[in-house]
Amino acid sequence: MRIAEAELRTVALPLLTPFRTSLGTQTVRRALLVRVRGTEGEEGWGECVAEDEPTYSPEYLEGAADLIRRFLLPALFALPDLDPAGVAPALAHLRGHPMAKAAVETAVLDAVLKARGLSLAAYLGGVRRSVRVGVSVGIATGLDALLDTVDRHVSAGYARIKLKIEPGWDLEPVRLVRETFGAGLMLTADANTAYTPADARHLARLDAYDLTLLEQPFAPDDLDGHARLAARMDTPICLDESITSARAATAAIRARACSIVNIKPGRVGGYLEARRIHDLALAADVPVWCGGMLETGLGRMANLALASLPGFTLPGDISATARYYERDITAPVVLDGDSIAVPEGPGIGVTPDPAALEAFTSGPPERLTPDTL
């Protein structure tokens, strides 16, 4: 099977409430969708999780679309056989851009696995039929608003609460949530690189609140700073932005910069690279969990497949649709207790709802064939 046609489409989904982190505030989630159709007729979908601006990572949405259109798709159109394992090697001469590469690889995976009648979870080696999930709570307008938000998510059944923090919004909100909801709540904090090693003494005060982990306090390339903080704190350090590949994960683990790893498929270049990181972390006895990027139902269902692998022992950021969106482009992703079911259908196990897709599409879709590139 080869790629006969591809489509690029941008969708814009309004968030139920603004989501603020140390990097900024989002009110709408724009996502770039990639659809490929093989010569045997099967269609596959992928979602590019790059944001509008290059704040979380160097990639941004419009740049990803340009790269996919001008470079990635021509390379894939030239492949004589559409094998998912061949996508990354075919694109290796193009440096960087893991989120764009992950989107096209996911679309290929979806199409090929549909043709084989095999689910993404089974292909990756998943062992769970459902995955325990947590929820990420943005920086609130005040402490009362924070407690109301956390209470709503705890009541919904989420297995873990993650608080976004930044200088000036850290010790007090963490203390208040811990004291209000008790020692039984699995609680983590995520800094999104908002601190520097000069803040190490301040961050060490978080040890008092029995956090499951502190996520990415320093810059992505500062493994030494993270290693020194890890040696100083009782709270385990987890890396997110620093983990861009299996090689980067190996370096971080060897440097003792982290004892937990957050795996985001878009950030590392796709689900196959994400599986490699899982495998090496499992061999090193390092727990992993699946992070989120405010994905639509397409990305969430694929993330559930990844999170069904045996090394994903901590609840991931794969919240139900109702956490962020009134309406998704797919059937709603639904919380059952503290878990969400892993899709069992072929490919990623879900396709967009045509009416919702049209309702949220921003601008005309772009259809591409080997003859038009």
> What tens digit of pLDDT does each residue of 42-101 get?
999 999 999 999 999 999 999 999 999 999 999 999 998 889 999 999 999 999 999 999
279-327 residue pLDDT tens = 999 999 999 999 999 999 999 999 999 999 999 999 999 999 999 999 9
Q: Which residues pair with 188 in a beta bridge?
A: 162, 213
Of 101, 114, 162, 264, which is the active-site residue?
264
pLDDT for the residue numbered 40:
85
Percent above pLDDT 90 for the chain: 92
Active site residue 162: no
Q: Taking the CA of residue 122 as centre, how many other CA atoms within 13 Å lie in the half-sphere pointing to its CB?
A: 13
Are 3-117+352-368 and 122-341 equal in CATH topology? Answer: no
Instruction: Report d(CA 211, CA 189) in Å as an integer.
Output: 7
Q: How far is CA 116 from the centre of its chain?
A: 26
Q: Which residues, in sequence order, are CB contacts of 61 under 8 Å at separation 6+?
A: 10, 30, 31, 32, 48, 50, 51, 52
CATH of domain 122-341: 3.20.20.120
Q: Are 358 and 371 in contact (CB under 8 A)?
A: no
Instruction: Report d(CA 334, CA 366) in Å as an integer.
Output: 31
Q: Taking the CA of residue 243 as centre, how many other CA atoms within 13 Å lie in the half-sphere pointing to its CB?
A: 35
pLDDT for the residue numbered 258:
98
pLDDT for the residue numbered 269:
97
Q: How far is CA 98 from the centre of its chain?
A: 12
Among candidate residues 276, 282, 240, the one with its CA nearest the CA of residue 258: 240
200-230 residue pLDDT tens = 999 999 999 999 999 999 999 999 999 999 9
Domain definitions of the chain by residue range: 3-117+352-368, 122-341
Among candidate residues 335, 287, 336, the one with its CA nearest the CA of residue 313: 287
Q: Are 111 and 99 in contact (CB under 8 A)?
A: no
Among candidate residues 11, 24, 92, 14, the one with its CA nearest the CA of residue 54: 24
CATH of domain 3-117+352-368: 3.30.390.10
User: Helix, strand, or coil here: 144?
Assistant: helix
Mean per-residue pLDDT for 157-169?
A: 97
Q: What is the 3-state secondary structure (H, E, C) of 98-142?
A: HHHHHHHHHHHHHHHHHHHCCEHHHHHCCCCCEEEECEEECCCCC
Q: Taking the CA of residue 176 as centre, how many other CA atoms within 13 Å lie in the half-sphere pointing to its CB?
A: 16
The amino acid at residue 247 is: R
Among candidate residues 106, 32, 57, the one with its CA nearest the CA of residue 270: 106
Active site residue 264: yes
pTM to 2 decimal places: 0.95
| Helix residue ranges per DSSP H, 157-270 | 171-181, 200-204, 223-232, 246-254, 265-268
